[in-house]
Amino acid sequence: MSDNTHHILIVDDELSMRELLEYMLNREGYRATCAENGRQAVALVEKNSYDLMLCDMRLGDLSGLDVLRACKKHHPGTVVIMISAYASTETAVEAMNQGAFDYVPKPFNKDELLETVAKALKLRTIEQEKELLDGELKRSLNFGMIVGSSPAMQHIYKMIQQVSKTKTNVLITGESGTGKELIARAIHKESGRRDEPFVAINCGGIPETLMESELFGHKKGSFTGAAQDKPGLFQEAHRGTIFLDEIGELSLPIQVKLLRVVQEKMVRPVGGTEDIAVDIRILSATNKQLEKEVIAGKFREDLFYRLNVIEIKVPPLRERKADLRAMGQHFLEKYSKEIGKEISKLSSYALDLMLKYDFPGNVRELENLMERSVALSTTNIILPDSLALSVHKRRWIEGVQDRRFDVDEVAKGVALDSILEEIERAYLKKALECSNGNKNKAAELLGISFRSIRYRLEKLSME
């Protein structure tokens, strides 16, 4: 029985043929609709979408080719099979050139026709999946290679699409390493300013003594070393987008000058006497809670509200673990290519270990982890031993060291791998004892997957 969600349009001017085809298709589980002539068929395809159309070549009022062309015009994805008792090479070729999937002569074998229908619908499904994949890839590229399909990231994508169509100032908030600059670049790329400059400024990375000159420019002779006029970064971003990263690091005097630029879109270079108009879209980002900075008097309230017209909150990686596999694979492929290694994927055991780690450094830490893991790996798959999750391992050891190990021994020199193996072996043995040898139960007691416990037991020759 076929998937009854497939909707098929039957077009034939012979009642007996329509009834036969409708009976055959309904019996197979398809949903069939009939048209008794070409004009009725065209009217139907103008209003409705069909997965497949079975169409006779000769219809009386219109030709089957006319109906084929109308169907492809309104619904290019509909698969069309032409049927005729007057088959010829010329008409078959013409039908195929117009986009028909196949040409079946009358009288036809019922089983062969149903097989042709099944093949055509399978092709449609494959093409739909390909279109969906191409669309996701295109969207990923449009969003600056932001990786992730979790509900949290789907919300971010919608926000990007919405705010990119406006000129409104946007504040992007989130912990360090969450990819706030990627969000800013995606907004710029989706906007009408995509062909103009995108200028990113790390407000925490420029010395305060140079900040004013860097942002607003300076005139020749305005200070020692100012040998010539220099445009500021706001001028460089003219007609484009300026991204002020770590905006919370700006000093109060610079905040005052920035407020004027935000309000009036005018800059005055250091040592200058005239204002210069700039056409810019302002995006900013911070890992601080600016509301608290405002209360503490460290950030101007009026500037905060000017910058925070729309806020996009980027979730930490620990809150979107569903994206971890795709992101890990993305970075694995990136660094495998850069380093020149043929590493195909993350093992399920390595992924299990990563899923238990909170990644306080977020996406940036994950990227660094995958780069190191690719560099250290001696196989074509990333195994737990290749993961440089030293922080995670250390935290896990600290949870048990007081009961079994003396860390002061480190001063004398220790064999860390042996210690870790001893801990792992002891916990596996105890879990199996508590579960009467049931590996599924033992895995539950240890908070790991069944595949992971199998891997560990084999690695330690305990199985």
Residue 438: CATH number of its domain: 1.10.10.60
Tell me the pLDDT band of 89, cut-offs 50, 70 and 90. low
Token pair belonging to 443: 């895995």
Is the Cα torsion angle 441, 443, 444, 446 positive or negative in sign? positive
Block residue for tokens 């000129």: 167
pLDDT for the residue numbered 400 = 42
302 shares its domain with 356: no
Strand-strand pairing, 266-267 and 276-277: antiparallel
Displacement of CA 100 from its chain's centroid (Å): 35
| CATH number of the structural domain spanning residue 301 | 3.40.50.300
Domain closes at, from 315, 340, 364: 315
Residue 144, domain member (yes or no) = no
Residues 188 and 52 in one domain: no
In this structure, how many other beta carbons lie within 10 angstroms of the beta carbon of residue 447? 9
- pLDDT at residue 305 in the model: 95
Cis (ω within 30 of 0) for the bond into 151?
Answer: no
Q: Give the separation between CA 212 and CA 271, rounded to whole angstroms.
A: 11
Q: Is there a single domain that holds both residue 180 and residue 280?
A: yes
| pLDDT tens digits along 57-77 | 888 778 889 999 999 999 988
First to last CA, the chain: 46
pLDDT reading at 143 higher than 60: no
Of 268, 295, 315, the residue at which a domain comes to its end is 315
Examine the domain organization and report whether 159 and 295 are in the same domain.
yes
What is residue 401's predicted lDDT score, i.e. its pLDDT? 39
pLDDT score of 2 = 46
User: Residue 59's CB: how many other CB atoms inside 10 A?
Assistant: 22
Q: Which residues of 237-271 are buried (b: 16+ CB within 10 A; e: fewer)?
A: bbebbbbbbbbbbbeeebbebbbebbeeeebbbbe
Question: Which one-letter DSSP state was computed for residue 37?
Answer: S
The answer to whether residues 58 and 86 touch, using CB atoms and an 8 Å cutoff, is yes
Please indicate, yes or no, whether residues 98 and 218 belong to a single structural domain of this protein. Answer: no
Which of residues 315, 338, 355 is at a domain's end?
A: 315
For helices 348-355 and 362-376, the axis angle rounded to 10 degrees is 150
- The 3-state DSSP class for residue 463 equals coil
DSSP letter (8 states) at residue 270: B
DSSP string over 45-85: HHH---SEEEEESB-SSSBHHHHHHHHHHH-TT-EEEEEES
Residue 146 belongs to a domain: no
* Residue 145 belongs to a domain: no
Distance of alpha carbon 220 from alpha carbon 236, whole angstroms: 18
Largest pairwise CA distance in the chain: 98
Residue 30's pLDDT band (cuts 50, 70, 90): very high
Q: Domain containing 74: what range?
A: 7-133
201 forms beta bridges with 244
Read off the CATH number of the domain in which 18 is found: 3.40.50.2300
Domain total in the chain: 4
Range with the lowest mean pLDDT among 32-46, 89-103, 301-315, 377-391?
377-391
pLDDT, mean of residues 147-164: 87
Do 195 and 285 lie in one domain? The reply is: yes
Distances (CA, A) of 40 to 2, 9, 60: 27, 11, 12
Residues 303 and 178 in one domain: yes
Is 114 a member of any domain? yes
Contacts of residue 119, defined as CB under 8 A and 6 or more positions apart, other chains included, come to: none
Q: Is 140 a domain residue?
A: no
